[in-house]
Copies of this chain bind each other. A is one copy, B any other.
Amino acid sequence: MLRSQALNAKKTTRDLCVVRVTSARNFSASARRSEQHLVILGSGWGGYELLRGIDKRRWNVTIVSPTNYFNFTPLLAGCAVGTLEFRSAVEPVRRYTPRVNAYQAWCDNIDFKQRTICCMPATPPLPSHYHQHVIGNGHEHAQAPTERKALTPVEQGVGTTSPPAVLQERFKLRYDKLIIAVGAYSRTFNIPGVKEHAYFLKDIKDARRIRSRILECFEQANQPTITDDDRRKLLHFCIVGGGPTGVEFAAELHDLLHAEIKQHFPQLARMAKISLYDVAPQILGSFDVGLQEWAARKFTRKGINILTQHHVERVEEGGMFVTEQGEVNFGMLVWSTGLAPNPLVSSINEIEKDTRTGSLLTDEHLNVLMKDSGKPDPDVWAIGDAAIIKGQPLPATAQVANQKAKYLFKKLNRIVKGKSHPTEFNFVNAGSLAYIGDWQAVYDRTSAAKGPKTKETGRLAWLLWRSAYFTMTLSLKNKILVPTYWFMNWIFGRDLSRF
């Protein structure tokens, strides 16, 4: 319907991007029953779950995300040490094409009045000597790419997939309904050097980098030219952030060191050390105090150094400065200290924001609250780590994002049929799980509003932890592959090939 309809860039004054309105249907295969354009921004726990559940026959769905897959984040720590293979922890967005339109792009501007979004391709630019932008092939004659809009975030967090340095021509998409599920970046507290020298663990690419680096540290330390002193530095693995991600990674790494590494690098394994840093007085701050202490005792007994109430001031290549310790050398530093707002979220001025986190504020129906009117926008929702319900802050977890997405696709699937859906979103706490190594975990459901308040430690919690995945957003393929890998690596050991 919009195939040849093109807005002129000069007419929309607030957008710096080159304007080309393209129908979201441009590349779709079949005719739609509905002409209603539903645009989803992001393919994480919120966006991907919404994509899964939305009625694709009734909505004309477009998903815009800088990656063309969904990260099953609880499995990333396992992937990072080789307990699982990378691809079994991701789900392709392309599974749903061509029924939905998918663009691998960043949304960098939303025009709430015109109901359009402006996107920049997240793929590399064309080779310079292709004859770009041929006139008269049904497209508007494109103009030269303009400067990327300057973002002024509260904190410049670190995104795994960052916009490229090279400017590219942008495109616009019109929406009737918009879901903002762009997630958040990693928080670095603006500590110098973190972005350049630390490893994050939010994306499968991060897990791949970490796995490669761990094995590299051991191959490096194995060179006969290296002194024992340097070996100990290379085999010091630091983790900053004592939340579930940091704790689970420390646990998985400990498992690797005490299994395949010990077997194949016996001398070097004795020199390896794991240190877990946090500014807080306890690890697993969001868990029940009894569980925190149990996990800390387990870690201490394993030989993992827990360095709570420690402050990192500066990070360099192979080392960092800690207030309480001075210079600390390491072979690898993994950084996991929470979330910083996504640049898109930072750049949006029309929506009310949470003062503490900078997230978008929504009402109980998950509609964003507009600043000027003070009312919710009936056609725009925000879910996941990018959003908080005003007056009802929930933790920025996969579970919350997933439940919000489920609530929202049910609502949208009723709306498209002309039915109403007045119920407010209600979070049901299913409890928190964290793996702490050696086939043991902690499970916390003490803060649940309804149902039995329970907590669990050890092998039973581990069984809960593993079985939990099979009820979650994994495809049948990965529901087969994940236990296959667990079994294969249990029998044959994790692979130490580095590539």
Q: Smallest distance from the beta carbon of A265 to chain B beta carbons, Å?
A: 7
Q: Are A223 and B121 in contact (CB under 8 A)?
A: yes
Decide if A334 is an interface residue (CB 8 Å cutoff): no
The listed residue (B124, B129, B203, B222) touching A220 by CB distance below 8 A is B124
Known: A126-B318, A137-B228, A225-B142. A219 touches B104 (CB 8 A): yes
Q: Which residues of B contact A103 (CB under 8 A)?
A: 222-224
Q: Which residues of B contact A142 (CB under 8 A)?
A: 225
A93 to B203, CA, bound (A): 28
A104 to B226, CA, bound (A): 13
Decide if A14 is an interface residue (CB 8 Å cutoff): no
Decide if A267 is an interface residue (CB 8 Å cutoff): yes
Q: Are A126 and B230 in contact (CB under 8 A)?
A: yes
Q: Are B130 and A20 in contact (CB under 8 A)?
A: no
Known: A69-B499, A126-B234. A171 touches B264 (CB 8 A): no
Q: Are B137 and A229 in contact (CB under 8 A)?
A: yes
Q: Are A224 and B171 in contact (CB under 8 A)?
A: yes
- By beta carbon, the residue of chain B nearest A267 is B27
Q: Which residues of B contact A225 (CB under 8 A)?
A: 20, 121, 142, 168-171
Q: Smallest distance from the beta carbon of A341 to chain B beta carbons, Å?
A: 24
Decide if A216 is an interface residue (CB 8 Å cutoff): yes
Decide if A78 is an interface residue (CB 8 Å cutoff): no
One of A378-386, A448-456, A477-485 contacting the partner: A477-485
Q: Are A229 and B134 in contact (CB under 8 A)?
A: yes
Q: Are B126 and A226 in contact (CB under 8 A)?
A: yes
One of A356-364, A425-433, A490-498 contacting the partner: A490-498
- Beyond contacts A131-B230, A137-B228, A171-B224: 4 other A-B pairs, Cβ-Cβ < 8 A, are A20-B224, A87-B497, A123-B219, A169-B225
Binding site for B on A (CB under 8 A): 20, 22, 26-27, 29, 67-69, 85-87, 90-95, 97-98, 102-105, 121, 123-124, 126-134, 137, 139, 142, 168-171, 203-205, 208, 215-216, 219-220, 222-230, 233-234, 264-268, 316-319, 329, 475-477, 480-481, 484, 488, 491-492, 495-499
